[in-house]
Homo-oligomer: A and B are copies of this chain.
Amino acid sequence: MENRTVRVLLAEDDENLGFLLKEYLQAKEYEVDLYKDGEKAFKGFQNNYYDICILDVMMPIKDGFTLAKEIRMSNGTMPILFLTAKSLKEDVIEGFALGADDYMTKPFSIEELLMRLEAILRRTRKDSPASDQTQFQIGKYIFDATKQTLDQNGETRKLTTKESELLKYLCINKNALLDRNFALKTIWVDDSYFNARSMDVYITKLRKYLSDDPTIEIINVRGKGFKLIY
């Protein structure tokens, strides 16, 4: 999956802050166009493609809210993040009412801005889904947690739900410990004695399924849990 650079429209009239933000985001591999007022920003918006817009609310010529309205008019889903000194409740509400994705009041931490930016992009960008991993390569096997299948050179073995769940958590923690109690509470809902025994039975089953590839191992860490090694 190829990760195209993220293009950011930044509208900020404060030269110092604008420049600083631009530099910082560029250092983080974003492509940033900085506009110093709302009107320039809207022209820029119309003539370029952006993945997200960061708008200062108070700007000369055209303020951020008006700009946001115009952007919304031509693109109903463009992610918008407001940046402002106004922390008045009414302003925040108005910002979100315009379809903002986030609203930060100055002064803010630039790291937090980055985090919030990325949180929005996680949701928005379809080519970079932070989605649950569902397929795993385990030695010569391919395990699909959604389909609940374990493939081995063409042959497919169907797994039951519990088998699949347990193997999924082992894969997520591959080469590291899968905590006994965590697995029990997550897959079996509670960590009673019988469920623990039941889980051991499932570990045995998984070992058998994976026994064709001797490099794979599910080892027990006494009193702690299990590790899937490969």
Contact = CB atoms under 8 A, between A and B. Distances in A.
The complex is assembled from copies of this chain, and their number is 2
Contacts of A132: 75-77
A77 B131 contact: yes
B89 A112 contact: yes
A128 to B, nearest CB: 11
A99 B70 contact: no
A70 B115 contact: no
Interface stretch (A9-17, A25-33, A116-124, A199-207): A116-124
A175 B147 CA distance: 8
Interface residues of A, number: 61
Interface in A65-111: 70, 73-77, 79, 89, 92-93, 96-97, 99-102, 109, 111
A217 interface: yes
9 contacts: A46-B186, A47-B189, A70-B186, A96-B118, A99-B119, A101-B119, A101-B122, A160-B222, A161-B224
